[in-house]
Amino acid sequence: MAPQQQSAEVLKQLAAAEEEQRERLRQALEAAGVPVPPAAEPLPHGALNHWARLVQDLEAHRGAVQRFRELAIRFAESFPQTAGLFDALCREEAAHCEDLRALIARADPQALD
């Protein structure tokens, strides 16, 4: 749904990275003997334009950064390998936030041409 090709390409790359992260989490859960719940289909956000959808995505990624950071701290002593995974995911999500911020700046409906 991205109106510009450049935005669409960045969003495709982000989606591929998110899929790879999901797979790493699935593998970690399976290795720990934890049942893996089925992946839920993402709900549509209901934003009216590309810029608003990007802002919603950024907020979701910020939430993921916070949650991964909390989990990394929580498991640091008892499960250092798991904590390392959460730390890596936290850093990756932070990088995704930067990508989304750049897209938001280019898609801002109030920006001058």
- pLDDT over threshold 90, residue 83: yes
Identify the pLDDT of residue 111.
58
Higher local confidence (pLDDT), 111 or 9: 9
User: In which band, very low, low, confident or very high, does the pLDDT at 113 lie, cut at 50, 70 and 90?
Assistant: very low
62 within 8 A of 97, measured Cβ to Cβ: yes
Higher local confidence (pLDDT), 27 or 5: 27
Kindly give, in sequence order, each residue whose CB lies less than 8 Å from that of residue 53, ignoring residues fewer than 6 positions away.
1, 45, 47
Identify the pLDDT of residue 21.
95
Q: Where in the chain are the domains?
A: 60-108
- pLDDT over threshold 80, residue 92: yes
User: In which band, very low, low, confident or very high, does the pLDDT at 46 lie, cut at 50, 70 and 90?
Assistant: confident
Please report where in the chains the tokens 């790493």 appear, as a residue.
24
